[in-house]
Structure 1
Amino acid sequence: MTIVKTVNPKISKKTTGAGTNATKPIHRRRPKEETENLILHEAERLLIERLASGSDDLNPLASLRITDVLASINAKLSGDQLPMTTGAAYQIWKSQLSFQDAILERIMNEVSTPWEADLRSKLDAALSQELSLEEVLESVFGFNEPPNSTSDHELSLAIGLTAFVSPERIRRAEEIANDQYVRALGTILTDILNYADRRLLPGLRIDDMVWAIEGLYAGLHLRARSHPELVDRKDAKGRYLGPMVTNSIFIGLSEPVSQRGKESR
Protein backbone atom coordinates (compact mmCIF):
# COMPACT_ATOMS: atom_id res chain seq x y z
CA MET A 1 0.00 0.00 0.00
CA THR A 2 1.12 3.54 -0.61
CA ILE A 3 0.83 6.15 2.06
CA VAL A 4 -0.47 9.63 1.38
CA LYS A 5 -1.24 12.55 3.62
CA THR A 6 -4.81 13.66 3.91
CA VAL A 7 -5.63 16.98 2.30
CA ASN A 8 -6.78 18.41 5.60
CA PRO A 9 -4.83 16.25 8.04
CA LYS A 10 -5.94 15.72 11.57
CA ILE A 11 -3.37 16.88 14.07
CA SER A 12 -1.80 14.66 16.65
CA LYS A 13 -0.43 16.64 19.60
CA LYS A 14 2.53 15.48 21.62
CA THR A 15 4.16 17.32 24.51
CA THR A 16 7.90 17.72 24.14
CA GLY A 17 10.39 17.77 26.95
CA ALA A 18 10.32 21.57 26.88
CA GLY A 19 6.60 21.53 27.60
CA THR A 20 5.55 22.71 24.13
CA ASN A 21 3.15 20.87 21.85
CA ALA A 22 4.56 19.35 18.66
CA THR A 23 2.14 18.50 15.86
CA LYS A 24 2.37 15.99 13.05
CA PRO A 25 -0.07 15.02 10.31
CA ILE A 26 -1.89 11.71 10.47
CA HIS A 27 -1.48 9.67 7.29
CA ARG A 28 -3.99 7.35 5.69
CA ARG A 29 -3.19 4.18 3.85
CA ARG A 30 -4.34 3.97 0.28
CA PRO A 31 -6.09 0.59 -0.24
CA LYS A 32 -4.23 -1.86 -2.45
CA GLU A 33 -7.06 -1.91 -5.00
CA GLU A 34 -6.97 1.88 -5.27
CA THR A 35 -3.20 1.87 -5.73
CA GLU A 36 -3.40 -0.85 -8.36
CA ASN A 37 -6.12 0.95 -10.33
CA LEU A 38 -4.27 4.27 -10.15
CA ILE A 39 -1.06 2.77 -11.53
CA LEU A 40 -2.77 0.78 -14.28
CA HIS A 41 -4.89 3.76 -15.31
CA GLU A 42 -1.80 5.94 -15.61
CA ALA A 43 0.08 3.20 -17.48
CA GLU A 44 -2.70 2.92 -20.04
CA ARG A 45 -2.83 6.70 -20.38
CA LEU A 46 0.90 6.84 -21.08
CA LEU A 47 0.68 4.08 -23.68
CA ILE A 48 -2.18 5.84 -25.48
CA GLU A 49 -0.33 9.16 -25.27
CA ARG A 50 2.74 7.63 -26.87
CA LEU A 51 0.66 6.00 -29.59
CA ALA A 52 -1.20 9.23 -30.32
CA SER A 53 2.06 11.16 -30.56
CA GLY A 54 3.37 8.79 -33.23
CA SER A 55 5.90 6.90 -31.12
CA ASP A 56 8.00 4.44 -33.13
CA ASP A 57 8.37 1.92 -30.29
CA LEU A 58 7.99 -1.50 -31.88
CA ASN A 59 6.57 -2.90 -28.65
CA PRO A 60 5.15 -0.07 -26.54
CA LEU A 61 4.22 -2.43 -23.72
CA ALA A 62 7.78 -3.69 -23.29
CA SER A 63 9.17 -0.16 -23.34
CA LEU A 64 6.92 1.05 -20.50
CA ARG A 65 8.55 0.60 -17.10
CA ILE A 66 6.94 0.76 -13.69
CA THR A 67 9.30 3.60 -12.85
CA ASP A 68 7.97 5.58 -15.84
CA VAL A 69 4.43 5.27 -14.53
CA LEU A 70 5.34 6.13 -10.95
CA ALA A 71 7.28 9.19 -12.09
CA SER A 72 4.25 10.38 -14.06
CA ILE A 73 1.94 9.88 -11.07
CA ASN A 74 4.31 11.57 -8.63
CA ALA A 75 4.67 14.59 -10.90
CA LYS A 76 0.95 15.26 -10.44
CA LEU A 77 0.80 14.87 -6.66
CA SER A 78 0.05 17.88 -4.53
CA GLY A 79 2.60 19.15 -2.08
CA ASP A 80 1.04 17.41 0.91
CA GLN A 81 1.15 13.93 -0.65
CA LEU A 82 4.01 11.52 -0.30
CA PRO A 83 5.41 10.12 -3.56
CA MET A 84 4.45 6.65 -4.68
CA THR A 85 7.35 4.23 -4.45
CA THR A 86 8.51 1.21 -6.42
CA GLY A 87 8.14 -0.78 -3.22
CA ALA A 88 4.40 -0.12 -3.25
CA ALA A 89 4.17 -1.26 -6.87
CA TYR A 90 6.16 -4.43 -6.30
CA GLN A 91 3.87 -5.38 -3.44
CA ILE A 92 1.22 -5.77 -6.15
CA TRP A 93 3.29 -7.06 -9.07
CA LYS A 94 6.34 -9.15 -8.34
CA SER A 95 8.05 -8.36 -11.63
CA GLN A 96 8.00 -6.06 -14.64
CA LEU A 97 6.50 -8.93 -16.65
CA SER A 98 3.55 -9.40 -14.27
CA PHE A 99 2.99 -5.63 -14.37
CA GLN A 100 2.88 -5.72 -18.18
CA ASP A 101 0.45 -8.64 -18.09
CA ALA A 102 -1.87 -6.61 -15.84
CA ILE A 103 -1.76 -3.68 -18.27
CA LEU A 104 -2.44 -6.02 -21.18
CA GLU A 105 -5.47 -7.54 -19.47
CA ARG A 106 -6.81 -4.09 -18.61
CA ILE A 107 -6.51 -2.90 -22.21
CA MET A 108 -8.19 -6.01 -23.60
CA ASN A 109 -11.08 -5.59 -21.17
CA GLU A 110 -11.37 -1.89 -22.02
CA VAL A 111 -11.95 -2.58 -25.72
CA SER A 112 -14.17 -5.66 -25.36
CA THR A 113 -17.65 -4.11 -25.06
CA PRO A 114 -17.69 -0.28 -24.81
CA TRP A 115 -19.61 -0.22 -28.10
CA GLU A 116 -22.40 -2.53 -26.91
CA ALA A 117 -24.92 0.12 -25.83
CA ASP A 118 -24.43 2.09 -29.05
CA LEU A 119 -24.92 -0.95 -31.31
CA ARG A 120 -27.93 -2.09 -29.30
CA SER A 121 -29.54 1.33 -29.63
CA LYS A 122 -28.95 1.35 -33.39
CA LEU A 123 -30.33 -2.17 -33.74
CA ASP A 124 -33.47 -1.40 -31.75
CA ALA A 125 -34.09 1.68 -33.89
CA ALA A 126 -33.59 -0.29 -37.12
CA LEU A 127 -35.88 -3.12 -36.04
CA SER A 128 -38.61 -0.72 -34.96
CA GLN A 129 -38.58 0.73 -38.48
CA GLU A 130 -38.89 -2.77 -39.98
CA LEU A 131 -35.95 -2.19 -42.30
CA SER A 132 -34.63 -4.81 -44.70
CA LEU A 133 -31.79 -7.06 -43.55
CA GLU A 134 -29.24 -5.11 -45.58
CA GLU A 135 -30.50 -1.83 -44.13
CA VAL A 136 -30.35 -3.24 -40.59
CA LEU A 137 -26.73 -4.33 -41.04
CA GLU A 138 -25.89 -0.95 -42.55
CA SER A 139 -27.50 0.83 -39.60
CA VAL A 140 -25.74 -1.28 -36.99
CA PHE A 141 -22.29 -1.74 -38.52
CA GLY A 142 -22.07 1.34 -40.71
CA PHE A 143 -20.18 3.37 -38.13
CA ASN A 144 -16.69 4.75 -38.14
CA GLU A 145 -14.79 5.36 -34.90
CA PRO A 146 -13.80 9.04 -34.66
CA PRO A 147 -10.09 9.19 -35.55
CA ASN A 148 -7.69 9.95 -32.70
CA SER A 149 -10.35 9.31 -30.05
CA THR A 150 -9.35 7.49 -26.87
CA SER A 151 -11.31 4.39 -27.86
CA ASP A 152 -9.70 4.51 -31.31
CA HIS A 153 -6.21 4.49 -29.78
CA GLU A 154 -7.19 1.81 -27.26
CA LEU A 155 -8.28 -0.46 -30.09
CA SER A 156 -5.08 0.22 -32.05
CA LEU A 157 -3.08 -0.58 -28.94
CA ALA A 158 -4.96 -3.81 -28.27
CA ILE A 159 -4.62 -5.02 -31.87
CA GLY A 160 -0.97 -4.03 -32.08
CA LEU A 161 0.02 -5.73 -28.84
CA THR A 162 -1.33 -9.06 -30.06
CA ALA A 163 1.41 -9.01 -32.70
CA PHE A 164 4.25 -8.53 -30.21
CA VAL A 165 3.15 -10.40 -27.09
CA SER A 166 3.37 -14.18 -26.94
CA PRO A 167 0.17 -16.09 -27.80
CA GLU A 168 0.06 -17.60 -24.31
CA ARG A 169 0.08 -14.18 -22.65
CA ILE A 170 -2.56 -12.89 -25.08
CA ARG A 171 -4.83 -15.85 -24.33
CA ARG A 172 -4.56 -15.21 -20.59
CA ALA A 173 -5.18 -11.49 -20.99
CA GLU A 174 -8.20 -11.99 -23.26
CA GLU A 175 -9.87 -14.80 -21.34
CA ILE A 176 -12.52 -12.61 -19.73
CA ALA A 177 -12.62 -10.02 -22.51
CA ASN A 178 -13.32 -12.64 -25.19
CA ASP A 179 -16.26 -14.06 -23.25
CA GLN A 180 -17.71 -10.57 -22.87
CA TYR A 181 -17.14 -9.79 -26.54
CA VAL A 182 -18.80 -12.97 -27.82
CA ARG A 183 -21.72 -12.50 -25.43
CA ALA A 184 -22.34 -8.89 -26.47
CA LEU A 185 -21.87 -9.16 -30.23
CA GLY A 186 -23.29 -12.68 -30.37
CA THR A 187 -26.55 -11.51 -28.79
CA ILE A 188 -26.87 -8.69 -31.31
CA LEU A 189 -26.18 -11.00 -34.25
CA THR A 190 -28.64 -13.58 -32.92
CA ASP A 191 -31.33 -10.92 -32.71
CA ILE A 192 -30.64 -9.95 -36.33
CA LEU A 193 -30.80 -13.60 -37.41
CA ASN A 194 -34.17 -14.00 -35.72
CA TYR A 195 -35.46 -10.78 -37.23
CA ALA A 196 -34.42 -11.87 -40.73
CA ASP A 197 -35.78 -15.41 -40.24
CA ARG A 198 -32.33 -16.88 -40.76
CA ARG A 199 -30.20 -19.41 -38.90
CA LEU A 200 -26.54 -20.32 -38.87
CA LEU A 201 -25.36 -22.95 -41.33
CA PRO A 202 -25.19 -26.48 -39.89
CA GLY A 203 -22.06 -26.97 -37.82
CA LEU A 204 -21.49 -23.27 -37.15
CA ARG A 205 -21.91 -21.40 -33.87
CA ILE A 206 -22.61 -17.74 -33.26
CA ASP A 207 -19.02 -17.16 -32.14
CA ASP A 208 -17.87 -18.23 -35.64
CA MET A 209 -19.77 -15.27 -37.05
CA VAL A 210 -18.52 -13.02 -34.23
CA TRP A 211 -14.85 -13.75 -34.95
CA ALA A 212 -15.31 -13.43 -38.71
CA ILE A 213 -16.75 -9.94 -38.25
CA GLU A 214 -14.14 -9.07 -35.63
CA GLY A 215 -11.37 -10.05 -38.05
CA LEU A 216 -12.87 -7.82 -40.73
CA TYR A 217 -13.11 -4.74 -38.54
CA ALA A 218 -9.70 -5.27 -36.93
CA GLY A 219 -8.19 -5.34 -40.41
CA LEU A 220 -10.09 -2.27 -41.54
CA HIS A 221 -9.06 -0.43 -38.38
CA LEU A 222 -5.36 -1.14 -38.90
CA ARG A 223 -5.53 -0.19 -42.57
CA ALA A 224 -7.35 3.03 -41.69
CA ARG A 225 -4.43 4.11 -39.49
CA SER A 226 -1.94 4.07 -42.36
CA HIS A 227 -4.14 4.40 -45.46
CA PRO A 228 -7.51 5.90 -44.47
CA GLU A 229 -8.31 6.69 -48.09
CA LEU A 230 -8.42 2.96 -48.86
CA VAL A 231 -10.98 2.24 -46.15
CA ASP A 232 -13.11 5.36 -46.46
CA ARG A 233 -14.53 4.33 -49.82
CA LYS A 234 -18.11 3.84 -50.97
CA ASP A 235 -19.79 2.10 -53.85
CA ALA A 236 -22.15 3.83 -56.29
CA LYS A 237 -24.97 3.53 -53.74
CA GLY A 238 -22.94 5.22 -51.01
CA ARG A 239 -22.28 2.06 -48.99
CA TYR A 240 -19.02 1.72 -47.06
CA LEU A 241 -16.78 -1.34 -47.35
CA GLY A 242 -17.29 -2.48 -43.75
CA PRO A 243 -21.07 -2.91 -43.81
CA MET A 244 -20.94 -4.41 -47.31
CA VAL A 245 -18.51 -7.14 -46.27
CA THR A 246 -20.39 -7.63 -42.99
CA ASN A 247 -23.51 -8.29 -45.03
CA SER A 248 -21.60 -10.86 -47.10
CA ILE A 249 -20.35 -12.60 -43.96
CA PHE A 250 -23.81 -12.60 -42.42
CA ILE A 251 -25.46 -14.04 -45.53
CA GLY A 252 -22.61 -16.44 -46.22
CA LEU A 253 -22.66 -18.01 -42.75
CA SER A 254 -26.44 -18.32 -42.46
CA GLU A 255 -29.44 -19.63 -44.35
CA PRO A 256 -33.19 -18.89 -44.43
CA VAL A 257 -35.40 -20.65 -41.92
CA SER A 258 -38.48 -22.47 -43.27
CA GLN A 259 -40.99 -19.69 -43.50
CA ARG A 260 -44.21 -21.64 -42.93
CA GLY A 261 -46.05 -19.20 -45.15
CA LYS A 262 -44.24 -16.16 -43.77
CA GLU A 263 -42.47 -14.01 -46.34
CA SER A 264 -38.81 -13.40 -45.53
CA ARG A 265 -37.65 -9.83 -45.11
Structure 2
Amino acid sequence: MNFPALDNIIWAANFVGLAALLLVLLLRQRWRRFPVFTGLITYSILVSIALFLISRHSTPKMYKITYWILAGGDFLFQLGMIFEIARVVLRPTGTWIRDARSSFVLVGMTGTAIAAGLCLAIKTPPGSTAGIWEIRGDLFTALLDCELFLAMLFASNRLGLEWRNHVMALAQGLTLWAFGSAVSDLASIFLGWTQQYRVVQLFPSFLYIAVLLYWIVAFWRPERVRAPLSNEMKDYLVALHSRVQYDLQQVTRTRDHT
Protein backbone atom coordinates (compact mmCIF):
# COMPACT_ATOMS: atom_id res chain seq x y z
CA MET A 1 0.00 0.00 0.00
CA ASN A 2 1.72 3.16 -1.22
CA PHE A 3 0.83 6.78 -0.49
CA PRO A 4 1.69 9.85 -2.60
CA ALA A 5 4.87 11.71 -1.70
CA LEU A 6 2.89 14.62 -0.22
CA ASP A 7 1.06 12.27 2.16
CA ASN A 8 4.39 10.82 3.31
CA ILE A 9 5.75 14.32 3.95
CA ILE A 10 2.64 15.21 5.98
CA TRP A 11 2.95 11.98 7.98
CA ALA A 12 6.63 12.68 8.75
CA ALA A 13 5.95 16.29 9.78
CA ASN A 14 3.03 15.18 11.96
CA PHE A 15 5.13 12.47 13.63
CA VAL A 16 8.03 14.84 14.34
CA GLY A 17 5.61 17.43 15.74
CA LEU A 18 3.95 14.90 18.04
CA ALA A 19 7.30 13.57 19.27
CA ALA A 20 8.60 17.09 19.93
CA LEU A 21 5.42 18.04 21.81
CA LEU A 22 5.59 14.92 23.97
CA LEU A 23 9.23 15.71 24.77
CA VAL A 24 8.25 19.24 25.83
CA LEU A 25 5.40 17.95 28.02
CA LEU A 26 7.78 15.56 29.77
CA LEU A 27 10.79 17.85 30.13
CA ARG A 28 8.75 20.84 31.34
CA GLN A 29 6.64 18.68 33.64
CA ARG A 30 3.40 19.78 31.94
CA TRP A 31 2.14 16.20 31.98
CA ARG A 32 1.40 16.53 35.70
CA ARG A 33 -1.29 19.13 35.04
CA PHE A 34 -2.47 17.72 31.71
CA PRO A 35 -2.24 13.90 31.96
CA VAL A 36 -5.07 13.25 29.47
CA PHE A 37 -3.53 15.56 26.87
CA THR A 38 -0.16 13.86 27.36
CA GLY A 39 -1.90 10.51 26.97
CA LEU A 40 -3.51 11.67 23.72
CA ILE A 41 -0.16 12.74 22.27
CA THR A 42 1.44 9.43 23.28
CA TYR A 43 -1.49 7.51 21.81
CA SER A 44 -1.26 9.51 18.57
CA ILE A 45 2.43 8.65 18.24
CA LEU A 46 1.74 4.94 18.71
CA VAL A 47 -1.16 5.07 16.24
CA SER A 48 1.02 6.85 13.70
CA ILE A 49 3.71 4.17 13.98
CA ALA A 50 1.17 1.33 13.80
CA LEU A 51 -0.59 2.70 10.72
CA PHE A 52 2.74 3.35 9.01
CA LEU A 53 3.85 -0.26 9.53
CA ILE A 54 0.48 -1.62 8.40
CA SER A 55 0.56 0.54 5.27
CA ARG A 56 3.95 -0.93 4.38
CA HIS A 57 3.39 -4.58 5.28
CA SER A 58 -0.35 -5.28 5.05
CA THR A 59 -3.40 -4.76 2.84
CA PRO A 60 -5.51 -1.62 2.30
CA LYS A 61 -8.48 -3.41 3.91
CA MET A 62 -6.50 -4.12 7.08
CA TYR A 63 -5.28 -0.52 7.12
CA LYS A 64 -8.85 0.80 6.91
CA ILE A 65 -10.15 -1.52 9.64
CA THR A 66 -7.28 -0.64 11.97
CA TYR A 67 -7.69 3.06 11.24
CA TRP A 68 -11.34 3.11 12.29
CA ILE A 69 -10.75 0.98 15.38
CA LEU A 70 -7.95 3.27 16.57
CA ALA A 71 -10.03 6.35 15.68
CA GLY A 72 -12.42 5.33 18.48
CA GLY A 73 -9.63 5.67 21.02
CA ASP A 74 -8.68 9.06 19.61
CA PHE A 75 -12.30 10.20 19.97
CA LEU A 76 -12.40 9.15 23.63
CA PHE A 77 -9.12 10.93 24.32
CA GLN A 78 -10.49 14.11 22.73
CA LEU A 79 -13.56 13.99 24.96
CA GLY A 80 -11.33 13.41 27.96
CA MET A 81 -9.21 16.39 26.97
CA ILE A 82 -12.29 18.63 26.89
CA PHE A 83 -13.14 17.63 30.44
CA GLU A 84 -9.50 18.05 31.47
CA ILE A 85 -9.62 21.65 30.24
CA ALA A 86 -12.89 22.09 32.12
CA ARG A 87 -11.30 20.67 35.27
CA VAL A 88 -8.43 23.15 35.13
CA VAL A 89 -10.65 26.16 34.38
CA LEU A 90 -13.74 25.37 36.45
CA ARG A 91 -11.94 23.82 39.44
CA PRO A 92 -9.25 26.39 40.32
CA THR A 93 -9.25 25.34 43.98
CA GLY A 94 -9.52 21.60 43.38
CA THR A 95 -13.31 21.47 43.73
CA TRP A 96 -16.00 22.42 41.23
CA ILE A 97 -17.06 26.04 41.54
CA ARG A 98 -20.68 26.38 42.56
CA ASP A 99 -22.96 26.21 39.48
CA ALA A 100 -19.96 25.66 37.16
CA ARG A 101 -20.51 21.95 36.61
CA SER A 102 -24.25 22.28 36.04
CA SER A 103 -23.77 25.11 33.52
CA PHE A 104 -21.07 23.18 31.66
CA VAL A 105 -23.07 19.95 31.52
CA LEU A 106 -26.30 21.67 30.44
CA VAL A 107 -24.75 23.61 27.57
CA GLY A 108 -22.53 20.66 26.64
CA MET A 109 -25.50 18.27 26.35
CA THR A 110 -27.38 20.81 24.24
CA GLY A 111 -24.38 21.21 21.94
CA THR A 112 -24.00 17.43 21.61
CA ALA A 113 -27.63 17.08 20.55
CA ILE A 114 -27.23 19.88 18.00
CA ALA A 115 -24.04 18.31 16.58
CA ALA A 116 -25.73 14.91 16.23
CA GLY A 117 -28.78 16.47 14.57
CA LEU A 118 -26.70 18.41 12.06
CA CYS A 119 -24.63 15.37 11.11
CA LEU A 120 -27.68 13.15 10.59
CA ALA A 121 -29.37 15.85 8.50
CA ILE A 122 -26.47 16.04 6.05
CA LYS A 123 -27.10 14.45 2.67
CA THR A 124 -24.67 14.04 -0.20
CA PRO A 125 -25.51 15.98 -3.35
CA PRO A 126 -26.19 13.93 -6.51
CA GLY A 127 -22.96 12.77 -8.12
CA SER A 128 -20.83 13.26 -5.01
CA THR A 129 -18.20 10.61 -4.36
CA ALA A 130 -17.81 11.51 -0.70
CA GLY A 131 -18.28 8.78 1.93
CA ILE A 132 -21.19 10.27 3.84
CA TRP A 133 -20.88 8.23 7.03
CA GLU A 134 -17.15 8.80 7.24
CA ILE A 135 -17.72 12.53 6.88
CA ARG A 136 -20.57 12.43 9.40
CA GLY A 137 -18.28 10.80 11.96
CA ASP A 138 -15.45 13.29 11.42
CA LEU A 139 -17.86 16.22 11.40
CA PHE A 140 -19.56 15.09 14.61
CA THR A 141 -16.21 14.89 16.40
CA ALA A 142 -15.20 18.34 15.16
CA LEU A 143 -18.52 19.96 16.07
CA LEU A 144 -18.50 18.27 19.46
CA ASP A 145 -15.03 19.64 20.23
CA CYS A 146 -16.11 23.16 19.24
CA GLU A 147 -19.41 23.06 21.11
CA LEU A 148 -18.02 21.57 24.32
CA PHE A 149 -15.31 24.21 24.28
CA LEU A 150 -17.97 26.92 23.88
CA ALA A 151 -19.93 25.33 26.73
CA MET A 152 -16.90 25.56 29.00
CA LEU A 153 -16.22 29.12 27.84
CA PHE A 154 -19.83 30.06 28.61
CA ALA A 155 -19.64 28.56 32.09
CA SER A 156 -16.29 30.18 32.94
CA ASN A 157 -17.31 33.63 31.67
CA ARG A 158 -20.62 33.44 33.51
CA LEU A 159 -18.78 32.75 36.75
CA GLY A 160 -15.92 35.20 36.14
CA LEU A 161 -13.23 32.51 36.19
CA GLU A 162 -9.75 33.17 34.80
CA TRP A 163 -8.04 31.32 31.95
CA ARG A 164 -4.31 30.70 32.28
CA ASN A 165 -1.72 30.50 29.51
CA HIS A 166 -1.29 26.76 29.06
CA VAL A 167 -4.94 25.79 29.31
CA MET A 168 -5.87 28.67 27.01
CA ALA A 169 -3.32 27.52 24.42
CA LEU A 170 -4.61 23.96 24.64
CA ALA A 171 -8.24 25.02 24.20
CA GLN A 172 -7.48 27.48 21.40
CA GLY A 173 -5.45 24.94 19.43
CA LEU A 174 -8.05 22.21 19.81
CA THR A 175 -10.91 24.48 18.79
CA LEU A 176 -9.03 25.91 15.80
CA TRP A 177 -8.22 22.46 14.48
CA ALA A 178 -11.78 21.18 15.12
CA PHE A 179 -13.29 24.17 13.32
CA GLY A 180 -10.94 23.71 10.36
CA SER A 181 -11.83 20.02 10.18
CA ALA A 182 -15.54 20.83 10.23
CA VAL A 183 -15.15 23.30 7.37
CA SER A 184 -13.11 20.77 5.37
CA ASP A 185 -15.68 18.02 5.92
CA LEU A 186 -18.56 20.25 4.87
CA ALA A 187 -16.64 21.27 1.75
CA SER A 188 -15.95 17.62 0.91
CA ILE A 189 -19.67 16.86 1.06
CA PHE A 190 -20.41 19.29 -1.74
CA LEU A 191 -17.17 19.00 -3.73
CA GLY A 192 -16.55 15.28 -3.38
CA TRP A 193 -13.36 13.35 -2.64
CA THR A 194 -11.57 13.87 -5.92
CA GLN A 195 -8.00 14.84 -6.77
CA GLN A 196 -9.33 18.15 -8.06
CA TYR A 197 -10.20 19.18 -4.50
CA ARG A 198 -7.30 17.40 -2.79
CA VAL A 199 -6.16 20.61 -1.10
CA VAL A 200 -9.51 20.84 0.73
CA GLN A 201 -9.08 17.34 2.14
CA LEU A 202 -5.47 17.98 3.22
CA PHE A 203 -6.24 21.32 4.87
CA PRO A 204 -6.92 19.80 8.35
CA SER A 205 -3.58 17.95 8.18
CA PHE A 206 -1.63 21.15 7.50
CA LEU A 207 -3.64 22.95 10.17
CA TYR A 208 -2.93 20.23 12.75
CA ILE A 209 0.82 20.51 12.11
CA ALA A 210 0.55 24.28 12.70
CA VAL A 211 -1.38 23.64 15.93
CA LEU A 212 1.32 21.21 17.09
CA LEU A 213 3.96 23.90 16.57
CA TYR A 214 1.80 26.36 18.52
CA TRP A 215 1.44 23.91 21.40
CA ILE A 216 5.19 23.17 21.44
CA VAL A 217 6.00 26.87 21.87
CA ALA A 218 3.16 27.52 24.33
CA PHE A 219 3.96 24.59 26.64
CA TRP A 220 7.69 25.28 26.56
CA ARG A 221 7.22 28.83 27.79
CA PRO A 222 6.63 29.39 31.52
CA GLU A 223 3.16 30.30 32.68
CA ARG A 224 2.34 33.67 34.14
CA VAL A 225 1.75 33.93 37.87
CA ARG A 226 -1.91 33.46 38.67
CA ALA A 227 -3.71 36.77 39.14
CA PRO A 228 -5.33 37.46 42.52
CA LEU A 229 -8.77 35.98 43.03
CA SER A 230 -11.74 38.24 42.40
CA ASN A 231 -13.77 39.54 45.35
CA GLU A 232 -16.65 37.25 44.37
CA MET A 233 -14.35 34.24 44.41
CA LYS A 234 -12.87 35.26 47.76
CA ASP A 235 -16.36 35.59 49.23
CA TYR A 236 -17.24 32.17 47.89
CA LEU A 237 -14.12 30.58 49.40
CA VAL A 238 -14.77 32.26 52.76
CA ALA A 239 -18.35 31.02 52.73
CA LEU A 240 -17.19 27.54 51.75
CA HIS A 241 -14.64 27.53 54.58
CA SER A 242 -17.31 28.61 57.06
CA ARG A 243 -19.65 25.92 55.82
CA VAL A 244 -16.98 23.25 56.19
CA GLN A 245 -16.24 24.43 59.74
CA TYR A 246 -19.95 24.35 60.60
CA ASP A 247 -20.39 20.86 59.17
CA LEU A 248 -17.31 19.68 61.06
CA GLN A 249 -18.71 21.06 64.32
CA GLN A 250 -22.02 19.29 63.71
CA VAL A 251 -20.26 16.01 63.03
CA THR A 252 -18.14 16.44 66.18
CA ARG A 253 -21.18 17.17 68.35
CA THR A 254 -23.05 14.20 66.95
CA ARG A 255 -20.10 11.95 67.68
CA ASP A 256 -19.80 13.29 71.25
CA HIS A 257 -23.48 12.52 71.95
CA THR A 258 -23.22 8.97 70.69
Q: State the TM-score, normalizing by the size of structure 1.
A: 0.28
Higher strand content, 1 or 2: 1
Q: Which structure's CA Rg is the greater one?
A: 1
Higher relative contact order (CA 8 A, sep 6+): 2
Q: State the TM-score, normalizing by the size of structure 2.
A: 0.29
